A and B are shown apart, each in its own frame.
Chain A
Amino acid sequence: MATLTTPAAPAAPSTSQPTVRPTKRRFSFGRATAWTVLVLIILVTLLPFYWILRTALSTNAGLNADPANPLPVDLTTTGFERALGLQSAEEAIAQGGAGGGLDFWRYLLNSVIVATLITGCQIFFSAMAAYAFARLRWRGRDKVFGLFLAGLMVPTIFTLLPNFVLIKQLHLVDSLLGIALPSLFMTPFAVFFLRQFFMNIPHEVEEAALLDGAGKVRIFFRVILPMASTPILTLAVLTYITSWNDYFWPLMVSYSDGSRVLTVALAIFRAQTPATGVDWSGLTAATLIAALPMLVLFACSARRIVSSIGFTGIK
């Protein structure tokens, strides 16, 4: 994004310091309406989370008897026990579960492995390439970069079918590596995004390090990466969330417990509807297990990344 060097509007009063509150705020009808709308939007955003928690802490029998109760009905943790595979099949069926024996600990671990592998490798390799495009001089650099840029035009979804054929030929179907492999090396977006940041790092910093006798490799690790830590962190968190939440690709590649990630497991849990109706208590508990790690990850990093998200999206 361009830096802000706009000509000041001629009519603007030259406020020596741009005060956030130019006039004292009185109560006004417009502002009250605007706040009401904002509060409503926040309620619609957050209330579903509460409702899921409330359902997960209820029994299925209670949910059937008292569907509109704003509090958990028959407060219990059996929904979570069922989702985590801690109940016997008979117990589960008695409480309205499918007794299918889904083990969400395992899927949680699989999701962690896949998302960590993808995020770590993809960001590191993309950063290396971005450094080569931004700071190294070599023949054909702009042509190769143009090729990468063209890759930005291909929607991910288009490559899924052919990539599945490839993963099958590599005998990696139904493995965690098979799920991670296509995203492991780069995305055109990550390369493009990091290149922008690396180019904005002042050359003087690099030259000083060069004069001190540091090589380009050392400069990459000791100067460039630390100076771009905030955009790298933002990209890493967003990549982690994206790979954690991916459903379509793991659905194609994974067939058994060993490679099943949370999103796929959730859909299977949903499909195993027992004759008595959907096991809402267990299903919402499983949903929370799948969602909680990302909420925690975001809560820990939000302070640093929330302001830089705009730059991420607008290339």
Chain B
Amino acid sequence: MTIASNSPPIRRRGDGLLAAVFIAPAMLGFLVFLLWPTLRGIYLSFTRFNLLTPAEWVGLDNYVRMVNDPIFWDSLTVTVEYVVLNIGVQTVAALAIAVLLQRLTQSAMLRGVVLTPYLMSNVVAGLVWLWILDTQLGIGNEIISALGVDRIPFLADETWAIPTIALINVWRHVGYTALLLFAGLQAIPNDVYEAAKVDGASEWRMFWRVTMPLLRPVLAVVLIMTVIGSFQVFDTVAVTTAGGPANATNVLQFYIYGSAFGRFQFGYASAMSVALLVVLSAITVLQYRLTRAGQSDLG
């Protein structure tokens, strides 16, 4: 949007005072609850702080400790494993749902139905699946054992726990992601599909040759957003496995929470938060570059 050059000659002097009033509440919120905590979080990462006595400057101690902390690295690995599974499955599923919804039916009701799990909290989604996948009584395991296969302790087993949590969160978020992609698909003009059809292209071919290239910028932005969200996983782990069994689901955010509120090491927890912030920023920049998210091939 350009600056309104065609605005009427009245009130040429600007609206400084009024603008100050209009922006004051948001500015207060921005400074006190966003900018200040960000700076303070970085500061706390260089201190020893237990919440009760004043923070004490310790330089790089927390970072040195972090680099030498096997649990931190383990936790980072578990988190990355979770993100890869979660984002991989979710993106493919969301894309499939979006394309099916767009090419088969334009029903707004179905789009609403697909969104319903998103209305639940992560806590509710976690509990729902904790029950369904319960080893002894869950219907999931009842079906598995009826098929003659051994019951699977989905959330109590070291190898199964992370994939299970990743899929529970796919269940909750895939509908929302699908709707974002659906909106992107709606922006692709119908003529392109008509033209491809005249040329005798199949739906499958149209998906790879028309839909995917034209959806790329939207897909890229959605991917960046969901990856950032995925790295912050906490709720589902907290209610289903509490980090176990044997730290198998001790995702970074859970370890940070435990360090701060379980062991009152706010300084160390802040240092790990800063590390997560750095990782996320790096991934975002990298993704943005790789996917050329800022450019569109449409027109």
Contact = CB atoms under 8 A, between A and B. Distances in A.
B10 A210 contact: yes
Nearest to B6: A203
A137 B12 CA distance: 9
Given A37-B100, A185-B29, A247 B122 contact: yes
A157 B225 contact: no
B260 interface: yes
Interface in A1-18: 1-2, 4-9, 11-13, 15, 18
A154 B20 CA distance: 25
Given A6-B299, A199-B1, A191 B26 contact: yes
A130 B168 CA distance: 36
Contacts of B225: 313
A22 B203 CA distance: 14
Contacts of A295: 116, 119
A144 B104 CA distance: 45
A67 B142 contact: yes
Contact of A48 (B10, B128, B134, B299): B128
A131 B22 contact: yes
Contact of A309 (B32, B180, B276, B296): B180
A168 interface: yes
Contacts of B238: 247, 251, 267
Interface string A112-129: 000000000000011011
Q: How large is the interface on B (under 10, 10 to 19, 20 to 34, 35 or more residues)?
A: 35 or more
B113 A313 contact: no
Contact of A241 (B6, B119, B261): B119
A146 interface: no
A266 B239 contact: yes
Interface string B180-215: 101110110111101101110001100000000000
Contact of A157 (B118, B189, B199, B232): B232
Q: What's the dominant secondary structure at chain B's contact region?
A: helix
B222 interface: yes
A307 B185 CA distance: 12
A246 to B, nearest CB: 8
Interface in B1-56: 1, 3-4, 6-8, 10-11, 14-16, 18-20, 22-23, 25-30, 32-38, 40-41, 44, 51
Contact of B113 (A11, A42, A137, A159): A42
Interface in B162-189: 171, 175-176, 179-180, 182-184, 186-187, 189
A158 B273 contact: yes
A212 to B, nearest CB: 12
B100 A34 contact: yes
B132 interface: yes
A128 B25 CA distance: 9
B116 A46 contact: yes
B104 A302 contact: no
Interface string A46-72: 101101100100000001100110000
B120 to A, nearest CB: 5
Contacts of B218: 314
Q: What's the dominant secondary structure at chain A's contact region?
A: helix
B147 interface: no
Interface string B124-158: 10011111101011110011001000000000000
Interface residues of A, number: 114
A278 B131 CA distance: 9
B167 to A, nearest CB: 10
A93 B194 CA distance: 66
A126 B26 contact: yes
A161 interface: yes
Contact of A37 (B96, B186, B204): B96
Contact of B106 (A20, A155, A158): A20
A184 B29 CA distance: 7
A225 interface: no
A44 B7 CA distance: 54
Contacts of A20: 106
B139 A161 contact: no
A18 B35 CA distance: 50
B191 A309 contact: no
A125 B122 CA distance: 28
Contacts of A159: 33-34, 37-38, 41
Interface of B: 1, 3-4, 6-8, 10-11, 14-16, 18-20, 22-23, 25-30, 32-38, 40-41, 44, 51, 93, 96-97, 100-101, 103-104, 106, 108, 110-124, 127-132, 134, 136-139, 142-143, 146, 171, 175-176, 179-180, 182-184, 186-187, 189-192, 194-195, 197-199, 203-204, 218, 221-222, 225, 228, 231-232, 234-235, 238-239, 253, 256-257, 260-261, 266, 269-270, 273, 276-277, 280-281, 284, 296, 298-299
13 contacts: A42-B110, A42-B114, A48-B129, A128-B25, A132-B19, A136-B18, A155-B280, A161-B260, A185-B33, A203-B6, A245-B122, A291-B124, A306-B115
